[in-house]
Structure 1
Amino acid sequence: MTGHKALDILLVHCQGESGNVLIDGAPHIPGATILDKMNHLNGVDPSLRLFLTREPRAQVVHTTNLLLAPTRPDADAAFIVLQPDRAHPMSGSNCICVVTALLETGRIKMTEPETLIRLDTAAGLIVARAQCKDGRCLSVSLDNVPAFVHQLDVAIDTPKWGRITGDIAFGGVFYAQIDVDQVGLRIMPEAARALAEAGTEIKSLLAGQVAVEHPEIPGLNEIAYVMFRDYQPDGSVVTCTTLKPGRVDRSPCGTGSSANLAILHARGQAKTGDTRVSRSIIGGTFTAEILGETTVGGHPAILPRITGQGYVFGRQQLRLDPQDPFAQGFALSDTWGPQVGDL
């Protein structure tokens, strides 16, 4: 990525989680599909992602969503989730941010009380239903891609906590979901650093112990995140998704909540029509609902719907000076965490 062209970015968050949207100025990304484009960003040319997601232009908490024209005829827009470690195929909170940005900037015409938007992602087609009033997007319900369990009660050997167990499930990306008491922590703001370090350590261990592969989408073959969970007596769940190199999701995590529903369904603890509330480490909430059942490559799967709200709070322009010695960005362990060297 070179030149002086400005990148126009809308600043958006969903329940406290940054989900900025690059709405204009991005270079051409090669690829016939959004999956192809994501693989190009990961395997061929990461320069745009690095420029947008690392210091001095960003901090560890920043995600930038690359807004693109759709590559399939049944979609209105497309996006790829750019994070410091790699480009990811899907994220519920980021999808809500993208829908909010599309509507509140007028890029897609807002229809009150509800606007339907179809989004092309590397994980598949997402159908979003936005509740709108007085020019604002009040909430977004995402009909997510099918979520399914890869394996329940997987044993994970760790030097620090001994043998722990987790559930591996797909909700747009693959998750390892682990009961938080197994690592001796609670999901609360004061424990955020310890949770982040525990999650990134477990993610590294999983790479050598558990193999995953989406049965229908080539290239989706890694456990993207470790999500700690704490089920509550009222049926809700408190979540903490950990992101490499060392931070926690501020939102309740839409893809993680979808994967959690698939786990509950596989255990016979949730059925079609059931809803669950997911609550984040800072108290934000998503509602997760099972719309129906299906299969993915022979795996029993559910059709999840995630509902939450995003907020536009600003705008910025970024410009790349060809002489900038930090065009690829940098990250330091003082704020990015102890595994920053693995980026």
Structure 2
Amino acid sequence: MSTELTLQLIDTHAGGDVSRIVIGGISRLPGDTVREQMHYLRDDADGLRKLLLNEPYGIPEMSVDLLVPATLPEAQAGYIIMEVMGYPIYSGSNTICTATAVLESGLVPKQEGRQRFSLESPAGLVQIEAQVRDGVVESITCEGLPSYIHTHNASINVPGIGRVNYSVAYSGGFYALVDAAELGFSLTREEERALNDCAFAIVEALQAERGFSHHTLGDVGPLPFLHFMGPVDQIADNFYRSRSTTYVHPGVICRSPTGTGTSARLALMHHEGRIRAGDKLETVSLRDTGFIGEMTGTHSSGTRSSGTCPSGTHESGTHQMVENTITGRAYVLARSEIVINCDDPMVECSGLRHILTSG
């Protein structure tokens, strides 16, 4: 008889975006850091991502986070993020979900009130602050990656749409930022399909025309994200709100406004002189869920990528890096064990079996 192959999961969501947290069933991955373990998973074991994001186990609109042992002594756990576009080094919604899962699973014991701990993402150490009341995790505040504007107020001709104005931010991935009203959108749920089609065309045009180079990482791949920006309303002193929609290439409209999308918005608003340290922006999704981003400070980078330079090259200069935090809440949807049947014609076990603990 063959050995039964299983994975242990905690399904969560933050703002509507479902993150499947893999808490058991995967053997220890090679690599001295979580970033190196991510590279191994991407290059030698992509079957896990494909299994959990495709039929019959999942759908591309979900995300997967694999818990791994931390390699940094300050961190209580490590995690690797998997999405339809691949392996982002950071994600706000996935971090909120993972932080909630490690508390709910007991990996990090809950403490009543304000609780601080650290996780290790592929981007490095992430500081977490949880608010726990009566044993319930009511909110997670996590560090966003320092974010900056790579390209400001450029335009591109998009087939079927025409001339589109955009800016590009880096906040864990490169984001094209576009004004929703200029493209005829009010950012309502009824527009979801049209938003997807519009974003697909813009991202395809951008990827065909140019590459984007990170100021220290160099070539991090084609631009994968587009963020539709609604009008910004001032709700109170130092507090703003804006409807927002994030698209992930190819073909996914996020349910939440996304943490990295919110960080990108903060970078753009600071670049345009519209916010300063201490200001907060609540981004609100098509489903009326929200994350709150706070600009906490700035620092200067050592190099700057030109808006027209080819991917992988750099120019001297500085970027204003916007330091920020993202606050949201995650909910546990299910605790489950799934059975992987490699005899099932709909299940592809290549790129997977060698990392299963019972494989």
TM-score (structure 1 length as normaliser): 0.90
Partner of 1:320 in structure 2?
340
Match of residue 143 from structure 2: 143
Match of 1:89 in 2: 89
8 Å contact kept, 2:61–2:84: no
The reply to whether residue 164 of structure 1 matches residue 164 of structure 2 is yes
Structure 1 pair 30–204 and aligned structure 2 pair: CA distance change class (3 A): farther
**Partners in 1 of 2:273 and 2:193 — Cα distance?**
34
- Preserved CA contact (<8 Å) 1:213 1:222: no
Question: Shift of residue 219 of structure 1?
Answer: 5.5
Greater mean alpha carbon deviation, residues 94-103 or residues 196-205: 196-205
Match of residue 262 from structure 1: 267
The one-letter amino acid paired with 1:59 is I
CA drift at 1:3: 6.3
| Percent of aligned pairs with the same amino acid | 29
Q: Does the 8 Å contact 2:19/2:63 carry over to 1?
A: yes
Mapping for residues 323-342 of structure 1, pairs under 5 Å: 323-328=343-348
Provide the C-alpha distance between the structure 2 equivalents of 1:209 and 1:34, rounded to a whole number of angstroms.
33
Q: Deviations over 1:286-309 (max 9, x none)?
A: 111111111234321111011110
Cα distance change on mapping 1:42 and 1:202 into 2, 3 Å: farther
Task: Please state how far the C-alpha of 1:95 moved relative to its aligned partner.
Answer: 0.7
Q: Any conservation in 2 of the 1:22–1:67 contact (CA below 8 Å)?
A: yes
Alignment RMSD: 1.9
> How far apart, CA to CA, are the structure 2 residues paired with 1:155 and 1:44?
38
1:240 aligns to 2:245 (yes or no):
yes
**Is the 8 Å Cα contact of residues 99 and 117 (structure 1) preserved in structure 2?**
no
Aligned AA for 2:111?
T
CA distance in 1: counterparts of 2:288 and 2:184, whole angstroms: 21
Q: What displacement does 1:228 show?
A: 0.8
Tell me which residue corresponds to 1:213. Answer: 213
* TM-aligned CA deviation for residue 142 of structure 1: 1.0
Q: Which amino acid aligns with 1:327?
A: V
Q: CA deviation at 1:91?
A: 1.1
Secondary structure, aligned partner of 1:256: helix
Equivalent residue, structure 2, for 1:291 = 296
Distance 1:320 1:244 in 2: 28
TM-score by length of 2: 0.86
Residues paired across the two proteins, number: 328
What CA deviation, in whole Å up to 9, does each residue of 1:138-170 have, x standing for no partner? 001112221111111122220122111111111
2:7, 2:233 → 1: CA distance? 47
Distance 1:71 1:29, change over 3 A: same
Structure ID, larger Rg: 2
Residue 218 of structure 1 deviates from its aligned partner by: 5.4
Aligned to 2:213, what secondary structure does the other structure show?
A: coil
Distance in 2 between the 1:291 and 1:76 partners?
24
Deviation digits for residues 194-247 of structure 1 (CA, Å, limit 9, x no counterpart) = 111211222222112232222233563432211111123334211110123322
Cα shift readout 1:224-282 (whole Å, capped 9, x = no counterpart): 21111112333421111012332211112111101110111111111111111111111
Indicate the SS of the match to 1:125: strand
Structure 1 unaligned blocks of 5 or more? 330-343
Q: CA 1:165 to 1:266, structure 2 compared with 1: closer, same or farther past 3 Å?
A: same
In the alignment, the residues of structure 1 paired with residue 127 and residue 187 of structure 2 have an alpha-carbon distance, to the nearest angstrom, of 31
Alignment pair present for 1:306 and 2:322: no
Q: Show the counterpart of 2:129.
A: 129
The SS at the match of 2:21 is strand
The match for 2:16 is 16
Once the two structures are superposed, what CA deviation does each residue of 1:5-58 show, in whole Å capped at 9, x if it has no partner? 310110101021111211111233332222222233333331111111111100
CA contact (8 A) 2:159 2:201 kept: no
Deviation for aligned residue 1:98: 0.5
Amino acid at match of 1:261: L
Range 48-57 or range 197-206, more displaced: 197-206
